Chains A and B, each alone.
Chain A
C-alpha cells in the first residue's frame, strides 16, 4: 500500500516535470504535441476508489494548468479521462482478476490490451482538450488532424516508457 503511494507520487512529479520542461517545447509540423502526463492517470492501480481517482485527475490537471497558464483546461480534460478510464476498465477487465493484476501497466496486461487502452483514452482526452482550447468548429479538419497526430505521438511515448520499465517476471 505504502509502496504504491510512493511509486505513484514519484511518477506524478516525474511526469509533470517531463511534460512542463521538455514536452511543452516539442511540436512536430504544427500538428503533433505530446501530452504524456496523462500516463499517470492511466497507470493508477485498478483498485483506486472512484472518488480518489477523480480527485487525483483534477489535481494533476490543475498542476499542469498552473504551468501552461490555462486554468481549468487540462483539469476538465483529465476529469473526462478519468471517467472514460472507469468505463473502459469496467467493460474490458474481470473484477475478480484484480488480485493478481494490481496495475494496468504494459508488462502486466500485455501489449494488445494496453495499446487499445492507451489509444482510446488518449483520443478522448486529446479530442476534448483541443476542442475546448480552440472553442470553435470552423477549422474542424485541421483540428481532427491535430488530435490524431498528437494522440499517435503520445501513445508512442507511452509504449516507449512502458517498454523502458518492462519487468518480465510480472507477466503470467
Chain B
C-alpha cells in the first residue's frame, strides 16, 4: 500500500494528465454532436455579449462595403417599384389578391461571430427565438445560401454554415433543372463546394449557375455558385462537380433567416407517409 502511494506521488504528473485528459475528451465527445453544449458556446450570455461588442467595432471598418451593397440593393428594388414602370393604361383598380399567400418570411440578422478555417464552421447571429427563429430553418444572404439554424437561445442563434462536414442541401442546375445535392469538400477551401449525384445526361458546362431546388429549406432559385471544374469519370450514372460558391463566407455581414410558413404542414404530411 505504502509502495503504491509512493509510486503514485512519484509519477503524479502522469496520473493527473490521465485524469484531466479523460475529462476533456469526455466533454469533447459528449458535446461535439449535432446538439451543441447548452452553455459552453457562443450563444451563452458572456461570450455572446463580448462578440456583439467586438463585432460592433469591426463594423466601422466595413461600412463602405456595406453601404455600397445596400445602395446596389436599393437600386435593384427601386427597379421593381410600380412607380418606375410606365403605365400605359388609364384605368386602374386595386385588387386584394387572394391567390397569393405569403409562404416565405425573411428575418434580417447581423453576423456577430463567424469562422471559415476549421473543418466544422458555425456562425452566430444576433436574433433568436424572441424574433421568431426556430431550430432547423434556412439562412441566406444577398449572394446565396449560408446554412441552417441548429441552436437558438432568446437573443442569439447558431447557424451550421454550408462549410460544415454535416451540411447537405438540395440543389439543381439553373438551366435544365437537374437535381443533385451540394456539400462541402474535404479540402477545407471556403470558396469551393461539391455538387453531387447529378444525373449523367445533364451535360453541365463550366461556369453554369447552380441554384437551390426548393426541396429543402430554401425557396427555389436562390444562387449557390457556378461550376468551376467537372470531375469527369466514366462509367457512373451520377456526376460530381466542383462549384465555386457565390457567397464569400469570410466576409458575411448581414444574413436573412428564411422562415417557410408551410414547412410544418409539409413535414407532418411527409411523416404520415413513413408510418
The total of chain A residues at the interface (CB under 8 A) is 36
For B117, what are the chain A residues with a Cβ–Cβ distance below 8 Å? 27, 30, 33
For A69, what are the chain B residues with a Cβ–Cβ distance below 8 Å? 36, 41-42, 122, 158
Q: Which of B88-140 contact A (CB under 8 A)?
A: 115-120, 122
**CB atoms of B115 and A24 under 8 A apart:** yes
Residues on B close to A: CB < 8 A? 12-14, 16-17, 19-21, 23-32, 36-37, 40-42, 44, 47, 51, 54, 115-120, 122, 158, 186-190
Which of B40, B187, B190 has a CB less than 8 Å from the CB of A71? B40
- Given A58-B20, A67-B47, are A83 and B119 neighbors across the interface (CB < 8 Å)? no
- Chain A facing B: main interface SS: helix
Which of B44, B120, B158 has a CB less than 8 Å from the CB of A66? B44
Q: With A and B bound together, what is the CA distance between A55 and B24 in angstroms?
A: 11
Which of A33, A72, A82, A83 has a CB less than 8 Å from the CB of B27? A72
A58-B24, A72-B31, A73-B28 are known; give 12 further A-B pairs, CB within 8 A: A30-B117, A51-B12, A67-B47, A69-B41, A70-B32, A71-B31, A71-B41, A75-B23, A79-B21, A86-B13, A87-B13, A133-B120
**CB atoms of B119 and A133 under 8 A apart:** yes
A61 to chain B, nearest CB (A): 7
For B41, what are the chain A residues with a Cβ–Cβ distance below 8 Å? 66, 69, 71
**CB atoms of A132 and B20 under 8 A apart:** no
Q: With A and B bound together, what is the CA distance between A77 and B109 in angstroms?
A: 34
Which of B16, B28, B47 has a CB less than 8 Å from the CB of A76? B28
A131 to chain B, nearest CB (A): 11
Which of A57, A68, A87, A133 has a CB less than 8 Å from the CB of B20? A57
Decide if A127 is an interface residue (CB 8 Å cutoff).
Answer: no
Q: With A and B bound together, what is the CA distance between A62 and B26 in angstroms?
A: 13
Q: With A and B bound together, what is the CA distance between A18 and B155 in angstroms?
A: 26
**CB atoms of B20 and A79 under 8 A apart:** yes
Q: Which of A118-164 contact B (CB under 8 A)?
A: 132-134, 138-139, 142
**CB atoms of B24 and A61 under 8 A apart:** yes
Decide if A21 is an interface residue (CB 8 Å cutoff).
Answer: yes
For A58, what are the chain B residues with a Cβ–Cβ distance below 8 Å? 20, 23-24
Decide if A15 is an interface residue (CB 8 Å cutoff).
Answer: no
Smallest Cβ-Cβ distance to A79: which chain B residue: B20
Q: With A and B bound together, what is the CA distance between A50 and B41 in angstroms?
A: 28
**CB atoms of B24 and A66 under 8 A apart:** no
Decide if A109 is an interface residue (CB 8 Å cutoff).
Answer: no
**CB atoms of A75 and B24 under 8 A apart:** yes
Q: With A and B bound together, what is the CA distance between A134 and B117 in angstroms?
A: 12
For B27, what are the chain A residues with a Cβ–Cβ distance below 8 Å? 62, 71-72, 75
Q: Which of A10-51 contact B (CB under 8 A)?
A: 21, 24, 27, 30, 33, 50-51
B11 to chain A, nearest CB (A): 10
**CB atoms of A50 and B31 under 8 A apart:** no
- Given A66-B40, A69-B122, are A51 and B16 neighbors across the interface (CB < 8 Å)? yes
**CB atoms of A76 and B17 under 8 A apart:** no
Decide if A54 is an interface residue (CB 8 Å cutoff).
Answer: yes
**CB atoms of A133 and B40 under 8 A apart:** no
Q: With A and B bound together, what is the CA distance between A68 and B186 in angstroms?
A: 20
**CB atoms of B40 and A62 under 8 A apart:** yes
- Given A67-B47, A72-B29, are A82 and B17 neighbors across the interface (CB < 8 Å)? yes
Smallest Cβ-Cβ distance to A80: which chain B residue: B21
B163 to chain A, nearest CB (A): 12
Which of A30, A55, A57, A83 has a CB less than 8 Å from the CB of B188? A30
For A72, what are the chain B residues with a Cβ–Cβ distance below 8 Å? 24-32
For B119, what are the chain A residues with a Cβ–Cβ distance below 8 Å? 133-134
Q: With A and B bound together, what is the CA distance between A132 and B118 in angstroms?
A: 12
